[in-house]
Structure 1
Amino acid sequence: MKIAFFFRRLNQGGIQRMILNCAEYLAHNGHDISVILIKKEGEYLDILDPKVRLITFGNTKANSLYKSFKAILENYKFDILFTASPPLNIFAIVCKLLTGTRTKIVISERNNTLSLFLNNRLSFSKVTFLGIPLFYRFADSIVAVSKGLSQRLATIALIPEKRINTIYNPAYTDSLSQHMHDTIDHPWLVFKQQPVLVNVARLTKAKNHLLLIRAVARVLKNRNIKLLIVGDGPLKEMLQQEINQLGLQEHIELVGFQLNPVSWIAKADLFVLSSDYEGFGNVIVEALATGITIVSTNCDFGPPEIINNGEFGYLAAVGSEEDLAAQIEHALDNPMAKEKQIKRAKDFHVDLIMQKYNDLFASLTVS
């Protein structure tokens, strides 16, 4: 099959990582795979598999986007086009309706769209939310990355839930296993003198790092710990100010974006996710793959499903620094069995998940 994945750019993020995993797997299994980017930008460009064709828009001005996309569709004649965010989903559907292309449009919902809509300022992306009920029904297929997200999307899009395919992200890969053993020279991990917690997430409002920092401050009243926050984003300066104001510079460090954060997770004692909401939560699977014990907020939608409502990790109330601190302390005293964690991670192995995508794509291209 001739399959294309369509996104804005390959900057850091769970969606971008998923695109890389899917594209690489399909390319190595005999399919003709392309990644279409509006702009040739992003930290992940350097690790795009050479078997995957990279296509970028000829013109990125707003009034030329349709023309650029139309030219790509007409030139390459893909069997399947896979998109991964509401604005791009709607853009692809509209382009198909206008051009009459025979390419099958598979749209995917990978974020907690309603929470994004309610919690962010007015923007073009937010306005496109209003188009979901109007346009999503014209997609050839719809994928959501968690059961909770499928249910929510059916309500938002005003379509039957049976039209939505729930397919978890292929977050466990062979590359992930290899990078667990990468050397990390951070002194807190090399010369470990107390438990080290690690968080991996973009520094944005939805990930609620303020909650995590304040919860760690509470834990420090009872025991000595360290926290490494892996990631970058617009809230970096504000978070550093909070760390400084609380006098936690010796206990919490923002280490910035890391191309393979699993190597940091593998050397820590506890992984903590403090998000207000998620669509799936690739990093939870990556943490499970290392065997580490996990604490996550019980947020909609992915993390509780991945750790099966507490079977493979500890859940804290969303937005509660008291409960998050308590769960961190409980987890440090009661680590989970490493083998059990790793076995759960394999439920999200690329081989298992991509077979579901193979079946879906094949069903759409049957003549």
Structure 2
Amino acid sequence: MVGYALGCRMRIAVVVNSLKMGGMERVACSLSDAFAKQGHDTHLIYFKDRKVEIKPSNSEVKLHLFNLQKWVLWSGIGCVWMILCRLLNIFFRKSFSIFFAYAEARAFAYKLKKLEQKTGQFDLIIFRGQGTFTHVWPLKDKRFVFVCESTQNKEHFGKSSRHMYSLLFSERRMVCVSEGAKRTLVDLLDSFSISCTSVLTISNPNDYAHILRESVTLTPDVSYHEKPYILGLGRLVPGKNFPLLIDAYCFARQHYGLKQDLVLVGEGKEKEKIKSKIKALGLEECVFLKGQQSNPFPWYKQADLFVLSSKSEGLGMVLIEALACGTRVVATNCPGGVGDIMLGSLSGFLAEQTPESLAQKMMLALEQAPTPNLEADIAKALEQFDEEYIAKKYCDAYLT
């Protein structure tokens, strides 16, 4: 790209699979807001025509729905292609989206062309998450940047992994949201001899002023927890490992006399399993499921402690958000980006993935008084995820 200079207005598109309430979707909105605040003509494109649960706070960001699957199925051959892709998926593990993308990519190119006829050509197009850029991988465009939000699993596609990952990553401009996520991508690329155009680490942006405002915004239609509590927040899915948090909480009550309740905010396919575990441990009177919340920040703000119990994290945005709300944090020392956040004295609150270790760190965080070194390390950790800094990194990397 040529002609970029500080203060120059560029046209940027951020692309995400949907606008449901989720970590990746919130980051896509935050990144769009960050570019708009810097004066860029910013557009947010999403693929799934489902209820919009979250959107950018900046009214200057334009939203566009590209319903690729519907566009493909409207053509008679698109239905035939979907059936064929379903059959191929039987023989090639998790390959449906890869094969179906041959049709979806054509739909995306068509809709992008139509949009650019109205708005002008985009200078940079950023796809957030592998589930997003999988829809368009057949397209080769120098303006495209693919962002990996999580760690990579080299066996994801089974015996076809080398070929599938080559289709996704070969000659792409890649961004990883943490050094930990980058290490897993580079390892995958080396293992399969895949060459990327570039692999950079650019983290996720945060609007700290917005977070602080929202953290004290209590809506009358939401019943907040009245007793002191420890918070777990995220999708109720295996990777977030909420059963470990419940086991650690139970251990801390039994061995350390922990008094706070445990509050879990989120929805997901493990909800019934988690309910059963709570009942089996006899914790119904002190562990509470609060469901999905449109504004999570007051839940951070009012918590005595936030705990991340994940098996792996591309970055760990919930830790950043909790720290920004002034809440103490504990996290499992899992693969990915948690180590990018828990720096210096914060590393003392990293636990092994066992109930005993996590319980010990929870009690340490609750009982230890804040120190100047800890406050300085928190400020340093937050600084690297500031929205203006992240927006500038993208512009410096791709608009010069």
How high is the TM-score relative to the length of structure 1? 0.85
Alpha carbons of 1:127 and 1:51: their partners in 2 closer, same or farther (altered >3 Å)? farther
Task: Tell me which residue corresponds to 1:12.
Answer: 21
Task: Tell me which residue corresponds to 1:278.
Answer: 313
Task: Tell me which residue corresponds to 1:235.
Answer: 270
Give how far 1:146 is off: 0.7
SS of 1:92's equivalent?
coil
Alpha carbons of 1:305 and 1:29: their partners in 2 closer, same or farther (altered >3 Å)? closer
% same residue: 29
Contact 2:19 2:54 in 1 (8 A): yes
CA distance in 1, matches of 2:325, 2:132: 34
Task: Tell me which residue corresponds to 2:180.
Answer: 148
Give how far 1:149 is off: 1.3
Contact 2:308 2:330 in 1 (8 A): yes
SS of 1:279's equivalent?
coil
SS of 2:139's equivalent?
helix
Equivalent runs, 1:1-367 vs 2, <5 Å: 1-45=10-54, 47=56, 49-61=58-70, 63=78, 65-75=104-114, 76=116, 77-96=121-140, 104-114=143-153, 131-139=164-172, 141-158=173-190, 163-183=198-218, 189-190=225-226, 192=227, 195-221=228-254, 222-223=256-257, 224-308=259-343, 310-311=345-346, 314-318=349-353, 320-337=354-371, 339-340=375-376, 341-342=378-379, 344-363=381-400
After superposition, the C-alpha distances for 1:318-338 in whole angstroms (9 at most, x for unaligned) are 2x1111111112221114348
Structure 2 portions without partners, runs of 5+: 1-9, 73-77, 79-102
Alpha carbons of 1:41 and 1:26: their partners in 2 closer, same or farther (altered >3 Å)? same
Give how far 1:189 is off: 4.6
Alpha carbons of 1:161 and 1:308: their partners in 2 closer, same or farther (altered >3 Å)? farther
Alpha carbons of 1:245 and 1:263: their partners in 2 closer, same or farther (altered >3 Å)? same
CA distance in 1, matches of 2:278, 2:219: 23
CA distance in 2, matches of 1:109, 1:68: 23
Alpha carbons of 1:169 and 1:47: their partners in 2 closer, same or farther (altered >3 Å)? closer
Name the aligned partner's letter for residue 23 of structure 1: S
After superposition, the C-alpha distances for 1:20-43 in whole angstroms (9 at most, x for unaligned) are 011012123222221111123355
Alpha carbons of 1:252 and 1:292: their partners in 2 closer, same or farther (altered >3 Å)? same
SS of 1:322's equivalent?
helix
CA distance in 1, matches of 2:240, 2:299: 18
Name the aligned partner's letter for residue 111 of structure 2: I
Alpha carbons of 1:328 and 1:27: their partners in 2 closer, same or farther (altered >3 Å)? same
Contact 2:231 2:305 in 1 (8 A): yes
Alpha carbons of 1:201 and 1:45: their partners in 2 closer, same or farther (altered >3 Å)? closer
SS of 1:94's equivalent?
coil
After superposition, the C-alpha distances for 1:92-129 in whole angstroms (9 at most, x for unaligned) are 34123xxxx5x5110111111218x55xxx79xx9778
CA distance in 2, matches of 1:334, 1:243: 28
Give how far 1:274 is off: 0.3
Task: Tell me which residue corresponds to 2:88.
Answer: none
SS of 2:350's equivalent?
strand
Contact 1:170 1:348 in 2 (8 A): yes
Give how far 1:130 is off: 5.0
CA distance in 2, matches of 1:33, 1:325: 44
CA distance in 2, matches of 1:257, 1:179: 16
Give how far 1:58 is off: 4.8
Alpha carbons of 1:310 and 1:296: their partners in 2 closer, same or farther (altered >3 Å)? farther
Name the aligned partner's letter for residue 203 of structure 1: L
CA distance in 1, matches of 2:387, 2:398: 16
Give how far 1:241 is off: 1.6
SS of 1:227's equivalent?
strand
Contact 1:293 1:336 in 2 (8 A): no
CA distance in 1, matches of 2:338, 2:122: 34
CA distance in 2, matches of 1:12, 1:127: 32
CA distance in 2, matches of 1:282, 1:110: 11
CA distance in 2, matches of 1:56, 1:49: 18
CA distance in 2, matches of 1:39, 1:237: 26
Give how far 1:200 is off: 1.1
CA distance in 2, matches of 1:321, 1:127: 37
Name the aligned partner's letter for residue 302 of structure 1: G
CA distance in 2, matches of 1:112, 1:31: 30
SS of 2:311's equivalent?
coil
